[in-house]
Structure 1
Amino acid sequence: MATEQAVSSPGPVPVPTPPPSPSPARSLARRVRNRLDGFFALLTRRPVSLYGTAVLRIGYGLLYLAFLLREFPHRDEIWGPGSPWTPALARELFYDTGWASILTLSDSRPYFECCYALAVITAALFMLGWRTRAVSVLFAVVVASFHARSIFMTDGGDNLILLMAMYLVFTGCGRRWSLDARRARLRAARQNGPVRPGDEDEEGDGLRPNLLFARRTLVTVAHNCALFVIAAQVCFLYGSAGLYKVQGGSWGNGTALHYVLNLNLFQPWPALSHLADSHPALLGAACYLTVLPQVAFPFVLFGRLKYPVLTMLFGMHLGIAVLMGLPLFSGAMIIADSVFLPDRFYESLRRLCRRATGRADVPEASLPGAGPAAVPQQAGPRQAEREQEASADQPRS
């Protein structure tokens, strides 16, 4: 009987021991590893900001085309054999500085006219996005050649266009709003298949799958790295300009724009400059609204504050173009700022334009880089990390 009671009486219920918590060092190492994996996925999975680089291509191609057409009557005095800065002097300077230019290969007038016509055609084709991979290289050579030929007549706008032309060589700036993207859509429509990422750049059907994957990964990494360099270039430009201004007292006391508006060299409309100079309170406020966005720009790129900052910078460059007569510099800066707008902004702008013109909207699945094999637009390191953790938690078959 005692034995039966001993058997039937419940014993103490074992309490499950909780799993040991990871050490702080191991937890930190895991977070660092996840961040690195997310950054690597962001760098290699897909090209980011394709609409932004397309805007850079269209903007700088159109701006340089307008610049060449504007200076067409004065082309010989600026870059040609009849320039006071002769080709011989340019070649002598190249020997010391390391620059090079296709314009100095010959001193003949027909050769210069052919180079000028080539520059105009190249800028137009680059703007339209025709064979962008090859034309972007030719556009960079043209911009560098004309820049080096008459380097003493350049300004900050010319320098920025030169840098952007070289950076855009490594980007997929022809994947949106280009003739290349249109040709890829038409080819996919004829084949009744989706447009694969990279097909709008060049044909890859003849490559083996592993070589095709390696080529697309290399193109994606080059695009994303070049885009990072473009963003860093603009941040350094604004940051250095703002920090340089705060070192002097004229921007702090609000009198810097007074001196700028009274320079005869920067008075395209003297009456307008004098009218603006007659409001000292507004000039003082404009001084602060010029310096503060430039200093704050590198620190607000990953938040919503970048939108009002970009708006203020747009107004500043518009004022520079009108009051100081520097449209090339202002246009180059406004185009560079557009790369910081997300792709969803340009997609909504595209839909709005199609609705305004009464055209049917093209679904995103038919665009180059979209479809089942593409990753959604504008993902950051945190989103890539969450996607990787979610895929790791799913049961494997």
Structure 2
Amino acid sequence: MENEAQRAAPAGVVRRLAERITAVWDLLTGRPLSLYGASVLRIGYGLLYLVFLLREFPHRDEIWGPGSPWTPALAHQLFEQTGWFSVLVLSDSRAYFELCYALALVTSALFLLGWRTRVLSVLFAVVVTSFHSRAIFMTDGGDNLVLLMSLYLVLTACGRRWSLDARRDRLKAMRAADAPAPARSPFAGQLRDARSTLVTVVHNCGMFLIAAQVCFLYGSAGLYKVQGASWGGGTALHYVLNLELFRPWPALSHFVDEHTLVVAVAGYLTVLLQVAFPFVLFGRLKYPVLTMLLGMHLGIAVLMGLPLFSGAMIVADAVFLPDRFYAALPHLCRRALRRTDSGRPAPSREAGPGAVPAQGGPGGRPGTKQRVVLPAGREDTASSGTHPARGE
């Protein structure tokens, strides 16, 4: 009996391991995960980089152009150490730089709209990489995350939802439904299925990389803060609020800094949220955590003047919301609009000088009698379509 039990134990472990592997394989190959989340990343980072390029348009020459203090020669020396590359250093011509900047704006806008996303995702990654590596010391830290996400989005099917590609696919499916199905060979069907499986696997792996990157970012930041004495003492945010480089609104920073207890609690809460973030993703606790992180990033954007960094983090956090949330958003918005419209008072029609008063009784039905009290207290009976003064 003992020998049979000993033989059955490894068999059970092997069976459970095989079941786990099968479940993971089905998860990777069954269907693409977080399609709405990938589309939110595409829209968010495309919009962020488009706004970033438009905001820096007056200063483009000093940051990335021929007039930049970080010259192409210095950029080439840095490329030898980092291995990066930028298309902006291929020529020192001003016309070439202006053409690259215009193409970068167009690429960001088309990537945001989701037009030919497979090709545009690669071009968007090239644009972000080129501008980031051309002047890596001239911008803030927000574009680091945008750079990583642009590379990860190349792997994803980020144009399946809320895009021009999705609209074109819907129209094509509608036309194909009306037309007779063409005859296809079994080999072509197998190739199509294999391509679909490959796209699904690559997309799911890309979304896993994005989620792992965000978790690693929050976890490492929280653990790094724990080691600091200022974060442990609750005074870190006090020093941050008094840095001249990160005080776009000095009066607001001074006002917040006066509330020492709130500043200390916010510091401890920041560390707690960042450390706990990777451990709350598989339960309902992630929703209040994401809400508090949203407030934290909005505070960073306003108090420290880092809108690109805050926007990049907010968009990255949005990937952890389920697809059913994004699928229900249009319905919730329409229902909210209907409630808003129904709560408004109906527009009243004021009688103009040429308006004719309503005749008859309720509903305007002819022949309905009404009792009218005359000034002398006498009562008369009026009927629609009759005139009492003439006795008709």
Q: TM-score range by the shorter chain?
A: 0.7 to 0.9
Percent sequence identity is 72
Q: Does 2:141 correspond to 1:145?
A: no
Q: Matched residues in 1 for 2:178 and 2:278: separation? A: 42
- The Cα of 1:207 is off from its aligned counterpart by 7.9
Gaps of 5+ in 2: 339-392
Q: Matched residues in 1 for 2:267 and 2:215: separation? A: 20
Which deviates further from its counterpart, 184-193 or 254-263?
Answer: 184-193
Secondary structure of the 1:153 match is: coil
Distance 1:170 1:351, change over 3 A: same
Q: Matched residues in 2 for 1:93 and 1:238: separation? A: 28
Distance 1:92 1:350, change over 3 A: same
Q: Matched residues in 1 for 2:178 and 2:279: separation? A: 43
Match of 1:215 among 178, 191, 195: 195
Amino acid at match of 1:33: A
For residue 309 of structure 2, what is the aligned residue in structure 1? Answer: 329
For residue 64 of structure 2, what is the aligned residue in structure 1? Answer: 79
Q: Matched residues in 2 for 1:42 and 1:68: separation? A: 38
Secondary structure of the 1:48 match is: coil
For residue 14 of structure 2, what is the aligned residue in structure 1? Answer: 29
* 1:20-59 to 2 correspondences below 5 Å: 23-59=8-44
Describe the superposition over 1:178-228 as per-residue Cα deviations: whole angstroms up to 9, x where unpaired: 00000011111122279xxxxxxxxx9998111111111111110000111
Q: Does 2:108 correspond to 1:128?
A: no
For residue 9 of structure 1, what is the aligned residue in structure 2? Answer: none
- The Cα of 1:35 is off from its aligned counterpart by 1.2
**Would you say the 8 A contact 1:289–1:312 is kept in 2?**
no
For residue 67 of structure 1, what is the aligned residue in structure 2? Answer: 52
- The Cα of 1:88 is off from its aligned counterpart by 2.3
Amino acid at match of 1:131: R
Q: TM-score under structure 2 normalisation? A: 0.81
* 1:358-397 to 2 correspondences below 5 Å: none
Describe the superposition over 1:308-350 as per-residue Cα deviations: whole angstroms up to 9, x where unpaired: 1111111111100000000000000000000000001101112
Match of 1:228 among 192, 196, 208: 208
For residue 172 of structure 1, what is the aligned residue in structure 2? Answer: 157
Secondary structure of the 2:281 match is: coil
**Would you say the 8 A contact 1:78–1:150 is kept in 2?**
yes
For residue 390 of structure 1, what is the aligned residue in structure 2? Answer: none
Q: Does 2:73 correspond to 1:93?
A: no
**Would you say the 8 A contact 1:277–1:283 is kept in 2?**
yes
Gaps of 5+ in 1: 1-19, 195-203, 359-397
**Would you say the 8 A contact 1:239–1:294 is kept in 2?**
yes
For residue 107 of structure 1, what is the aligned residue in structure 2? Answer: 92
Describe the superposition over 1:257-282 as per-residue Cα deviations: whole angstroms up to 9, x where unpaired: 10000000000000000000000010
For residue 296 of structure 2, what is the aligned residue in structure 1? Answer: 316
Secondary structure of the 2:137 match is: helix
Secondary structure of the 2:155 match is: coil
**Would you say the 8 A contact 1:122–1:138 is kept in 2?**
yes
**Would you say the 8 A contact 1:129–1:178 is kept in 2?**
yes
- The Cα of 1:26 is off from its aligned counterpart by 2.0
Q: TM-score under structure 1 normalisation? A: 0.80
Secondary structure of the 2:311 match is: helix
- The Cα of 1:153 is off from its aligned counterpart by 1.7
Q: Does 2:271 correspond to 1:291?
A: yes
- The Cα of 1:256 is off from its aligned counterpart by 0.6
Secondary structure of the 1:152 match is: coil
Q: Matched residues in 2 for 1:114 and 1:40: separation? A: 46
Describe the superposition over 1:72-128 as per-residue Cα deviations: whole angstroms up to 9, x where unpaired: 000000000111111222123223322110000000000000000000000000000
For residue 318 of structure 2, what is the aligned residue in structure 1? Answer: 338
**Would you say the 8 A contact 1:56–1:339 is kept in 2?**
yes
Q: Does 2:333 correspond to 1:353?
A: yes
* 1:264-283 to 2 correspondences below 5 Å: 264-283=244-263
Q: Does 2:225 correspond to 1:240?
A: no
* 1:151-170 to 2 correspondences below 5 Å: 151-170=136-155
Q: Does 2:104 correspond to 1:119?
A: yes
Q: Matched residues in 2 for 1:28 and 1:114: separation? A: 62
How many residue pairs get matched?
330
Amino acid at match of 1:73: P
Secondary structure of the 2:67 match is: coil
Q: Which has the larger radius of gyration?
A: 2
Describe the superposition over 1:25-62 as per-residue Cα deviations: whole angstroms up to 9, x where unpaired: 22222222111101100101110000000000000000
